[in-house]
């Protein structure tokens, strides 16, 4: 569920114009409180590149934490998927200014992102998210 879920093409206009709140995650894992913000760069980047997250995505995740368990899913090419759980530990590091702010030009517009180093402790492999979903579902069945 969510804006862009199941689509491959670019969605024009803002999330608000499509009936969503600014910063809402792209998808919700069915029958869980887990939300996924799926992102990928439009150009090839190495796996050592930092992950960029828009500040409104972090703000939205913090506003709805802990009832919403938000994860950023960062896809590089077809073989590398990295995840970051936007949880209390992440929010503390963010608020302390431990992450750099970058302002790239994308499609002619100046954008703002929070840059998370690829080797930061919060950056995990995709299997960590899959295990978390399985654990969540197992706990709710008990």
Query: What tokens appear for 55 in the block?
Result: 């500040």
pLDDT at 122: 96
Asked whether residue 11 is domain-assigned, the answer is: no
Asked whether residue 12 is domain-assigned, the answer is: no
The per-residue pLDDT for range 109-139, each reduced to its tens digit, is: 899 999 999 999 999 999 999 999 999 988 8
End-to-end CA distance of the chain: 25
Asked whether residue 95 is domain-assigned, the answer is: yes
Task: Name 91's Cβ contacts closer than 8 Å, sequence gap at least 6.
Answer: 58, 62, 65
Query: What tokens appear for 76 in the block?
Result: 């590089």
Q: What crossing angle do the helices spanning 88-95 and 55-63 adopt, rounded to 10°?
A: 130
The per-residue pLDDT for range 55-112, each reduced to its tens digit, is: 999 999 999 999 999 999 998 877 789 999 999 999 999 999 999 999 999 888 899 9
Question: What domain range includes position 72?
Answer: 17-141
Structural domain tally of the chain?
A: 1
Whole-prediction pTM value? 0.84
Asked whether residue 8 is domain-assigned, the answer is: no
């Amino acid at each position: 569920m969510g804006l862009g879920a199941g689509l491959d093409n670019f969605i024009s206009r803002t999330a608000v114009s499509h009936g969503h709140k600014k910063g809402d995650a792209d998808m919700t894992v069915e029958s869980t409180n887990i939300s996924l913000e799926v992102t990928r760069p439009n150009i090839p980047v190495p796996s050592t590149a930092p992950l960029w997250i828009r500040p409104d995505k972090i703000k939205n995740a913090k506003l709805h934490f802990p009832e919403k368990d938000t994860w950023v899913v960062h896809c590089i090419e077809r073989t590398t998927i990295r995840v970051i759980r936007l949880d209390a530990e992440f929010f503390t590091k963010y608020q302390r200014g431990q992450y750099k702010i970058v302002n790239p030009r994308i499609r002619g517009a100046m954008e703002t992102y929070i840059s998370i180093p690829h080797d930061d402790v919060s950056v995990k492999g995709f299997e960590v998210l899959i295990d978390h979903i399985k654990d969540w579902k197992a706990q709710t069945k008990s």
